[in-house]
Chain A
């Protein structure tokens, strides 16, 4: 099963249950009490998921490691490499 199929299957399941609930085919005392909430469940779920995604992505963006040290190390090694290569007789392209 492809990932798309998995998502569609899940969506169909979710919406069938939801439609069954709002069309009052399922007679549960609990559902009647929460009628308003059940009615707006899809947009609420979507909003919460969106909020979760945005929070996670922003948090990871702000905490994305800046490798200053790696850049400094590389610069030093570039200079070292250039010197060593030139002593080995390699003609580097000058800027």
Chain B
């Protein structure tokens, strides 16, 4: 416990000039948004780090934005920043939109559906600060990481796809399709500008391009708890998109 307190103090000291902008792209996340915000606040306050949460809602019909406004009233306008967009415009542009309004020098991107737990953010920050990394990526595939709520078929597809990706792209990171990462702001800016893919192929391309630009990448094992509220998606068209994206990166990078 004493050691942990010491680590916490060290991190706080190391990150005293840093601010972390946490981007939350949302679409119909009215149930998850308050919980994820509560958890982020809990863990970031515990670690005494400077941060802001930028909610980028793509015109959800379920009232996610109103919920975000309620949260803003409670936690303050400097903690919860609302940057809504009219309609669904894709992840890549959501990040660009978020970066434009971010006041931090580091950006955390994560899903708002509770599959990514905010308790891992301080761990990413710790690793980043000690090694001065450009990117820290959460990984489900490393020792200590894992998934919950996946059946055999889903696990098999995931492992198979990961094996194929590692074999063909040798990316230097174990989880390419995950989207729980910490970036230096300028690094994320450069990457989003040079990536053309959509969906979660976009996440793969970010890491592959990062390797091309010789950015340093670290990894933190994360547990991935599949959507508590709402539907999880992995159908034939997702697999097709993945294969197409993989082959595109294989042939062009």
A46 at the B interface (CB under 8 A): no
Q: Is A66's CB under 8 angstroms from B250's CB?
A: no
Q: Identify which of B38, B223, B253 contacts A70 (C-beta below 8 A).
A: B223
Q: Are B35 and A93 in contact (CB under 8 A)?
A: no
Which residue of A2, A58, A66, A82 is within 8 Å of B35 (Cβ)?
A: A82
Q: Which of B169-227 contact A (CB under 8 A)?
A: 169-170, 223-225
Task: Fill in one digit per residue for B29-43: 1 if any A CB lies within 8 Å of its CB, else 0.
Answer: 011001100110000
Question: At the interface, yes or no: B168 with Cβ under 8 Å from chain A?
Answer: yes
In the complex, A24→B214 CA distance in Å? 46
B160 in the interface, Cβ–Cβ < 8 Å?
yes
Nearest-Cβ distance from residue A90 to partner chain B, whole angstroms: 5
CA distance A61 to B159 in the complex (A): 6
Q: Is the CB of B147 within 8 A of A65?
A: yes
Q: From residue A12, how far is it (CB to closest CB) to chain B in Å?
A: 17
Contact with B170, one of A3, A71, A95 (Cβ below 8 angstroms): A3
- Flag if B169 contacts A3 (CB, 8 Å): yes
* Interface presence of B1 (CB below 8 A): no
Determine whether the beta carbon of A57 is less than 8 Å from that of B223: no
- DSSP majority for the A interface? helix
Please name all residues of chain B whose beta carbon is closer than 8 Å to the beta carbon of A78 when the two chains form the complex. Answer: 35, 114, 228
State which size class the interface on B falls in. Answer: 35 or more
Does chain A have a CB within 8 A of B90?
A: no
Q: Is A48 an interface residue (CB 8 A)?
A: no
Q: Is A68 an interface residue (CB 8 A)?
A: yes
On whether the beta carbons of B38 and A85 are closer than 8 Å, the reply is: yes
Which A residues form the contact surface with B (CB < 8 A)? 2-4, 7, 53, 56-58, 60-61, 64-68, 70-71, 74-75, 77-78, 81-82, 84-85, 88-93, 95
Residues of chain B touching chain A, judged by Cβ–Cβ distance below 8 Å, are 30-31, 34-35, 38-39, 62-63, 67, 70-71, 74, 114, 117, 141, 144-150, 152, 155-156, 158-160, 163, 167-170, 223-225, 228, 249-253
Question: What are 17 A-B contacts with C-beta separation under 8 Å?
Answer: A2-B251, A2-B252, A2-B253, A57-B156, A61-B155, A64-B146, A65-B223, A66-B148, A74-B225, A78-B114, A78-B228, A85-B38, A88-B74, A89-B74, A90-B70, A90-B71, A92-B34
